[in-house]
Structure 1
């Protein structure tokens, strides 16, 4: 990509159709179409939007959340499946790169998974949140380093992380060291109130400055009616409000369009890649400002599995049973 390269990005603040994988997927497809009509070449959706973020786990003790956990299993997304096929078709049809968060079901486990579809509809990245946060550990399994990749797409090199993964500086640095140009971040939204909104603001602007890249951040949103669907307890309802901050940030740490702090909407801005060079000329944290002779990051990008086939062939005599009578 040249310094003159410009990409139009869209960050979508959207509410799920609670308890419905298919309903939420339809909203995602409609939002892709809407963003594409505005000229967007990149469309970013919130964390685990499909079918919905497990808000129940934040307000219910583990002993009571079994029913809701099972319902999430039933509506979770298998990769690949008709859901991913539909998003791939939309990406290909409109020629846009799509980043969407899903609750992925892999046999008996759920994962917080980020999917990146290139503009030709190819699924170019499936990564799992490396460490679920606090209450989320009762819902999702852990990811691995295989997804810590800045990937080449039709619009540039993308890196993605979810929510409090941004508080893991080494995870962020792994993407920075691969020279991500656009960082796509995702948060659940509608949690914890203004303090979460403020924390997101600090987090995404700091990463843009430190990485010298654009940050396209999408958060979810719950309507008051949806909050009431999740809990009838008015005290707990207050916990499921605020905390939204859908925004697009330049490599200089500036907002490129007004952020969306409440309700549904699409933030759209043009990303002028010359700003990456402008920022990195002054401070390139993985280039001229780095000190690899003093500080280095060691990363394991292997896919982890419970079953590995041994490549070593043992000599047959090792398996002979000795004759105890001799």
Structure 2
């Protein structure tokens, strides 16, 4: 692993085009082009940004959200599809590593999915959030451990988690144990208020310190008009405010740029990989500071499916030869 290079990264905070997969995808492509003008080599977009995060599920009771849920089904992204093809072409065209959250549709289910494209356009990772949070369980299915993996990319070893997965210490440790150099965090943003942003800051800075890696964290943004689209209730519109914290953090837990807490924009910073060694020299939580003789983590990497191939039946064994009975001659 190269700890001498410098990488320019961006956390993208934008509003989606509500109810439009194509509209939001176009905003992603425009943001990639904009970032390329600043020499960005890695860009991270918010949680389930394409087509949009299901904010409706946070402010509507399940019995009333059927129409909005079905609309999300209609606009969700299949993998592969024209959307993933367009993202792949953009990554390849600008030689940029791209991490984007989507609502993935497979058959009759939706999933909170993170896609990681390498700088040559290859889709390296399609992982699903392992456990949707609270209201999200009415919208998405569960992921599995196969996506908890750190991958070698053009910018280094990259790992990803979505939102409150960062409150699962074993999920984070799984990535840490694979020596991630850059961690990509994704949150919905525009929810819960300032307390959400405050908690997010603590969580992401702590992961940077504990993992000894850079953190690129992206959150979404809703305009006043979009909040009105989601709910006419002014009290609930206030619930869809705040909670934005798009930022880049060093392995020493220090923000490397001014966090974006409102509006749209790109948080850009240079990642000096020598800071990883500087931090881990003091405390490598999966190396010299670990005690595997006392504490170990079991990681199930199997990809689960409702259709599992049954093992072939065992071959019939040939009968075991029996010893011949002794012949006894009788004489009269």
Judge same fold: TM > 0.5, yes or no. Answer: yes
Which residue number corresponds to residue 20 of structure 2? 20
Which residue number corresponds to residue 152 of structure 2? 152
Offset at residue 60 of structure 1 (A): 0.5
Partners of 2:137 and 2:310 in 1: CA distance: 31
Offset at residue 315 of structure 1 (A): 6.5
Partners of 1:203 and 1:54 in 2: CA distance: 23
Count of residues in Structure 1 that have an aligned counterpart in Structure 2: 317
User: After TM superposition, where is structure 1 displaced by more than 3 Å over at least 4 residues in a row?
Assistant: none
Offset at residue 313 of structure 1 (A): 1.6
Which residue number corresponds to residue 176 of structure 1? 176
Partners of 2:48 and 2:267 in 1: CA distance: 19
Partners of 1:299 and 1:43 in 2: CA distance: 28
Offset at residue 314 of structure 1 (A): 5.4
Query: What is the CA RMSD across the aligned residues, in angstroms?
Result: 1.0
Deviations 1:81-124 (A, max 9, x none): 00000000000000000000000000000000000000000000
Give TM-score, length-normalised by structure 1: 0.96
Unmatched runs of 5 consecutive residues or more in structure 1: 317-326
Offset at residue 312 of structure 1 (A): 2.4
Offset at residue 41 of structure 1 (A): 0.2
Unmatched runs of 5 consecutive residues or more in structure 2: 317-332
Partners of 1:311 and 1:166 in 2: CA distance: 37
Secondary structure in 1 matching 2:125: strand
Secondary structure in 1 matching 2:242: coil
Which residue number corresponds to residue 201 of structure 1? 201
Secondary structure in 1 matching 2:54: coil
Secondary structure in 2 matching 1:293: coil
Which residue number corresponds to residue 63 of structure 2? 63
Which residue number corresponds to residue 275 of structure 1? 275
Say which one has the larger Rg: 2
Offset at residue 204 of structure 1 (A): 0.4
Partners of 1:310 and 1:2 in 2: CA distance: 43
Offset at residue 2 of structure 1 (A): 2.5
Partners of 2:235 and 2:250 in 1: CA distance: 38
Partners of 2:9 and 2:262 in 1: CA distance: 20
